């Protein structure tokens, strides 16, 4: 529980202290919306839409063997290394997950009941929007804390590698 409080406090501090840094972006990124895939941890489809120059909403629909999750994140963007198209992003959000079958634990995150899970998520990563083509590549960590309706709790770092088509 201490880790969850620390993540929440750190996320709020970042949201409150970094907006002026993020304002250095002229248009935030060179795209408004992106659709693609995320792999490694939570693997599935993702859609990202900028609501302001440095703020985006991202939805991730995750698919696992016999499982499904839906995540919504609010993300802030800030320039990385003064390189055009390269941005840090960080944020917070939540998810809901369900599993329809028992899956043996293979060392990865797997719920072993058919219960519903609710979680809080953070995200921190870096994204590169390739200037010449409508493609954005990202690498991030999306740590989460989840509680299932059967009382079980899970914590995971949830790394991700993404590729999105931008427009």
Higher pLDDT, 129 or 108: 129
Phi-psi region of 151 (alpha: psi -120 to 50; beta: other; left: phi over 0): left
Q: What SS3 state is found at 98? A: strand
Average the pLDDT over 68-92 and give the result: 96
pLDDT at position 104: 52
Domains of the chain plus CATH, in order, are 2-166 (2.40.160.20)
Percentage of the chain modeled with pLDDT above 90: 60
Q: pLDDT at residue 17 above 70? A: no
> Cα 23 from chain centroid?
21
| Residue 163 to residue 166: CA distance in whole angstroms | 10
Q: What is the pTM of this model?
A: 0.76
pLDDT at position 49: 97
Phi-psi region of 15 (alpha: psi -120 to 50; beta: other; left: phi over 0): alpha
């Amino acid at each position: 529980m201490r880790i969850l409080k620390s993540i929440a406090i750190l996320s709020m501090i970042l949201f409150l202290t970094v907006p002026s840094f993020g304002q250095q972006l002229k248009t935030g990124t060179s795209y408004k919306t992106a659709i693609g895939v995320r792999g490694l941890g939570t693997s599935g489809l993702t859609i990202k839409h900028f609501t302001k120059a440095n703020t985006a909403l991202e939805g991730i629909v995750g698919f696992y063997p016999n499982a499904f999750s839906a995540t919504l994140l609010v993300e802030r963007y800030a320039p990385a290394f003064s390189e055009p198209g390269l941005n840090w992003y960080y944020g917070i959000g939540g998810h809901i997950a369900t599993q329809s079958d028992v899956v043996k634990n293979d060392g990865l995150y797997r719920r072993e009941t058919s219960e519903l899970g609710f979680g809080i998520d953070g995200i921190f990563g870096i994204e590169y929007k390739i200037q010449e083509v409508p493609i954005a590549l990202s690498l991030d960590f999306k740590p989460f804390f989840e509680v299932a309706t059967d009382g079980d709790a899970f914590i995971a770092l949830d790394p991700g590698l993404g590729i999105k088509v931008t427009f």
